[in-house]
Amino acid sequence: MNKYLEQLGSKLDEIELKKLSKIQNTKVHQFVLESIELCNPQKVFICSDTPSEVAYIKHMAIASGEESAALSTPGHTFHFDGPRDQGRDREVTKFLVPKGDSLPPALKQIDREEGLKEIISHHKDSMKGKTMIVIFLLLGPADSVFTIPCMECTDSWYVSHSVDLLYRRGYQKFCKISKDTDFLKTLHSAGKLNENMVSVEYDKKRIYIDYTTNTVYSVNTQYAGNSIGFKKQALRLAIRKAHKEGWLAEHFMILGVKGKNGRKTYFAGAFPSASGKTSTAMLPGETILADDLAYVKNIDGECRAVNVECGIFGIIQNVNPGDDPLIYQILTQPGDIIFSNVLIKDEKPWWLGMGCELPKEGINYSGKWWEGKTDENGDNILPSHKNARYTVSLKALPNCDPELENPKGVKLGGIMFGGRDYRGYVPVQQGLDWAHGILAYGAALETETTFATVGQEGKHEINVMSIQDFVSIPLGQYIKNYLEFGKKLNKVPLVFGVNYFLRDLKTGAYLNTRRDKYVWVKWMELRVNNDVKARETPTGLIPLYEDLVPLFKQLLGKDYTKEEHVKQFTIRVPENLLKIERVKEFLKAEVSDAPQELFDVLDEQKGRLVKAKERFGNYISPENFEIV
């Protein structure tokens, strides 16, 4: 028995010690011991993934009051985060940077020694009187070149329940790993709780990432995006690992799109929160493999990808039977689902945009709620938070892709980048080549920020690959990695830019409906398989009107008019030229190591736009461009 297990002998009961002793990796024992000594829990529960233990975690989430089962649908529970804990908190999420090292100035960071001292002070005795739950998990499918083992020590039964729905269980894998195998680890405490079991010390909320030890520290928060260390925090660590090893860790959804003669083509897609990512992944008739995070590797010259997770932590606003029938179906039938920060009334969850009139009173994250209730600043409190969520296992979905656990992943035929771009890009376009698509659509992704990030709603920003907040290496190097990755593939996926939020310049009305994305995705599937031609514009390849007409009719039962097509696919030269300048200004200010190829691609696109303007004017009908 090693020294850490010997010391744990006085801190764990015999059953828990026996479970931990089956793991040979001494760094696991060290992390558990140090977490106990720092946080001072009353008890420690080691989850070895037996059915009874998994059931116990959900039971305790309810018994502790962190979740409530007071809902009429069997298996459903709800959880409330505090009023100031409703989204990812950029301001208090920082990298711990050791002296002599450096990260790009755009990344939130703090000196490692200073940050460790601060986070340790917040964690000190944070679990006093509570139970520390130790959970072992896997990122990516088991027994795969993609697999990354990880573990979390937390005092939140709600977080433990969420983790079990979102990730693959890993205790058995940890029992097999060698003594020196590296893994990711998280220490989380909800901190002091009020009578509603909600974190109350918001001013001491911290999410710190120590990339020198692959450790995430999270304290005084329950919101899953902050407290589950394997969401965006572990993505930051995986990005560094991917950079060293020559693969990509991405903020991707993955869906399988069905085509002719039984074929299926897999697409990955990067979208900022609330920009259509999950609803794209959940298109009816297709299959979902991932909704949020993916690892992408070159396997024998093929671009292959896996879902890092095996569950969904999804935004519930605007999920309704018309726009998102599959998600809505799952959310209204029995099953293990956690609703967070919705309105509860008559033993039912209610949320914004669910397709019916909401109750005028109930309970929500603010406590007892009634129509017209305001917060301390006098602002109206909505019945359900805009960033209210649902947590569910992917395998609960009837459209879960059968390749979810394939250790080799799936071959990507296409990659799409999409944001909330009201002014510039058309609804769907294909890059002229790998570099153009990656740089003009991905690296130049411009969006309006949403309620998913605390204090950021309604601001326009550049969000490189929809991953900018999480990139833990120099941003220019991250972009270079993409370019180099493509060069080593035998066949690169086609790259597409999508924009579901284009508005009419005069009226401000949206030019897409929420359902139109189904048509754009099906057109992309046809392009990947060389079934349709396209028109070449200065910004990319766009669909032919005659190819979209049957798709609208078949998929949506809609007669698609030439007028609609012209409005949607008119190339807006002034807006696109301004977009290029905004991107270049951002790059010069924030990305000191941006590759020259990025500026070259933007300048080439600018040149094509200016040339087209000289021939056709500022606003150019798609019919003016040649078919290729």
Residues taking part in catalysis? 275
3-state secondary structure of 29: helix
Task: Assess contact for 242 and 203: CB atoms under 8 A.
Answer: no
Residue 28, both tokens: 């696991």
- Decide: helix, strand or coil at residue 525: helix
Compute the distance between CA of residue 313 and CA of residue 291 in angstroms, rounded to an integer. Answer: 9
Residue (of 245, 246, 317) closest to 275 by Cα position:
317
Name 183's Cβ contacts closer than 8 Å, sequence gap at least 6: 25, 27, 28, 148, 149, 150, 151, 174, 177, 214
As a whole number of angstroms, the distance between CA 516 and CA 522 comes to: 10
Structure tokens at 143: 């027994």
Q: How far apart are CA 110 and CA 104, in angstroms?
A: 12
3-state class of 373 per DSSP? coil
Alpha-carbon distance of 396 to 97, in angstroms, equals 40
* 155 closest CA partner among 66, 70, 231: 66
Task: Identify the CA nearest to 512 among candidates 554, 452, 441, 560.
Answer: 560
SS3 content of the chain, % helix, strand, coil (to 5): 35, 25, 40
Coil, strand or helix at 236 = helix
Cα separation values, 436 from 126, 492, 583, 598, 600, Å: 50, 13, 14, 9, 10
Report residue 102 as tokens: 């450096």
Helix count (H) and strand count (E) of the chain? 18, 32
**3-class state of residue 307 by DSSP:** strand
Q: Position 2: which residue type? A: N
Alpha carbons 238 and 145: distance in angstroms, whole number: 14
- What is the DSSP pairing of strand 311-315 with strand 389-393? antiparallel
Rounded CA-CA distance 560/566 in Å is: 11
Which residue type occupies 609?
L
Contact status, residue 84 vs residue 361, Cβ threshold 8 Å: no
End-to-end Cα separation, the chain, in angstroms? 69
